[in-house]
Structure 1
């Protein structure tokens, strides 16, 4: 069939696409808070993470939020997130999760373009506000692995 790559060329084509995708992801600057947001508040961030109607984080992740039962196990635990990722990396993952992992099931909490199957009522709207993103980042940065003295 014309237009199809032979099996031998497929890995090379995928590798080239991955390099282009990663270059595009790195072009965005996630080192500063989102425009219009103040410094994050960890207490507000914890409330967002724990709230199953707002962040939905505990649907997939477990976290040090003992009052919330039935936490998820599909994604990495939130414990130690502050050790594993910088604020910029967390911001990138929250804003556009697919920029870091194209096959992730994690939603992009602050993206409005290039999404599939978005209801008419939610088109052009973000899941979380810029301030909520910064608050969640502030909370996740507090989650450090316990170290023995």
Structure 2
């Protein structure tokens, strides 16, 4: 029997941490500390995070990876940690027509599911974990 886990919902009590966009990135960690790459990898392959639904990557154990977005293999060669962080926080700042969710934004969004209203999809710590994982992908 297959099991499906769901990412823990970030609560309103976990307010968004302030950040500054500089150019095409967010140069400073949302938490003030680097993330943990192994936790980031686990989040990326977890279907409820939605990453793997659109992206493929170096995940041989994961079937049915997406092909709508760039492969995550070699992401650390293509984008800096700063650029990756902004893409996760709010990709629409770089491409208003993107289908990538804004994982760390709550205002100005359309068609947000009831469970996610007024809450970011990922916490600041989860964003940093994914940034750590993707930055290490040097193909």
| 1:32 maps onto 2:28 in alignment | yes
Q: Which residue of 1 aligns with 2:59?
A: 65
Note the C-alpha offset of 1:120: 3.5
CA RMSD for the aligned pairs? 1.7
Alpha-carbon displacement from aligned partner over 1:17-51 (angstroms, at most 9, x marks no partner): xxxxxxxx6579610011x4531000000000011
TM (norm. structure 2) is 0.80
Larger Rg: 1
For structure 1, which runs of at least 5 residues remain unmatched after alignment? 1-24
Question: How many residue pairs were aligned?
Answer: 119
Give the match for residue 115 of structure 2.
121
Q: Which residue of 1 aligns with 2:100?
A: 106
The alignment's TM-score, normalised by the length of structure 1, stands at: 0.75
Higher helix share: 1
- TM-superposed deviation, 1:118: 1.5
Q: Show structure 1 runs of 4+ deviating over 6 A.
A: none
- Ranked by relative contact order (alpha carbons within 8 Å, sequence separation 6 or more), the top structure is 2
